Amino acid sequence: MNLLSLPPISIIIPVFNEEKKIYDCLDSIKKQNYPQSIIEILIIDDESTDNTVEVTKSFGATILTNGSHNIERGKSIGLAKAKNEYILFIDADNRLPHSNWLKNFVEALVENKEAVGAQAIWFHYDKKHTLADKYCELFGVNDPIAFYLNRRDRLMATESKWTLPGKIVKETDNYYLIEFNKNNLLAVGSQGFLTRKSFFLQTSWQPYLFHMDSNLELVMKGHNKYLMMKDTIIHLHCSSIAGFVKKLQRNFLLFLKQERIRKYTWRTKPAKLVSKTFFMITFIVPTIDSIKGFLKKPDLAWFLNPLFCFLIPVLYLIYIFKRFEFKKIISSTFE
């Protein structure tokens, strides 16, 4: 597909105090081998108190206001205002790793009209990144529990072929076309997800657009094919080990708060959940996995795995216990 035949695209980026990251994100978009005149950049600002808005204006972005302090609300606002059929959801801490990234993704989606969307199958690994970021890049996760429950949506840096759930319908040099069902759908839809507006308008996208929920709805309607691109996406997850734990803590508390309105869940048998948790917190399996990874791609970041595999499940269990104890107290109070 030549440049003149590429379709216009809207890029949706929710932001809150992203002054330090948003410039590089937008700069990577401006460097794309794609006609800039047909790229609409929508910045949905959630009342930032730094210079985020000023930075984005220098790139000619359209600024929309959120104000709810909810990223899913920001995505919904962006989708409502997007002018184009092709939509790229991306976060401020993402970068497009090379100049043909957007063109390759759009061409693949245009070619496969039955596909709901397209996303990269690896996080971009860079030796210069922080230990916590490299851990995510090497294991292909933002949360170690997703790795051991086989719910991650990225391959490990040491994997070269599709090893995750889903049926391979087609494979080319550039992508896998994967068919999912409601039970094996991965957490697709974020960190650089290209889709069509017409698909997401068929889902419960207002007032909050939960990307996993919308994709589950589409799969249940029979729109169950996704392009998993043989490419990477840069994701600057966090700058420190403490930041990694704090971010997962925040995400988990938000999940507990929103649980009743969510549709997508990790459907896991209790026995499997217990056994996997046991393997994680006893250090043995995580340490073995770290050694295997290190032997294939030497980096000390592999050895954060035993630490995170202990801390994160324990942290989640504490909050679950507190939640049920709180419910018990409330219940007994009003008996």
pLDDT tens per residue, range 51-94: 999 999 999 999 999 999 999 999 999 999 999 999 999 999 99
Q: According to the model, what pLDDT value does residue 330 have?
A: 42
Residue closest to 203 by CA, chosen among 59, 54, 57, 87: 87
Residue whose tokens read 């809150």: 16
Distances (CA, A) of 221 to 29, 199, 206, 216: 33, 11, 18, 9
What six digits make up the tokens of 189?
């839809």
Residue closest to 50 by CA, chosen among 92, 82, 16: 16
Residue whose tokens read 């989640």: 316
User: Rounded to whole angstroms, how far apart are CA atoms 105 and 103?
Assistant: 6
Q: According to the model, what pLDDT value does residue 68 have?
A: 92
pLDDT tens per residue, range 229-284: 999 999 998 889 999 999 998 888 888 888 788 888 766 777 888 888 898 999 99
Does pTM surpass 0.85?
Answer: yes
pLDDT tens per residue, range 133-153: 999 999 999 999 999 998 899
User: Rounded to whole angstroms, how far apart are CA atoms 53 and 34?
Assistant: 24
Q: According to the model, what pLDDT value does residue 334 have?
A: 40
Residue closest to 52 by CA, chosen among 41, 63, 66, 67: 63
Taking residues 215-221, what's their average pLDDT? Answer: 97
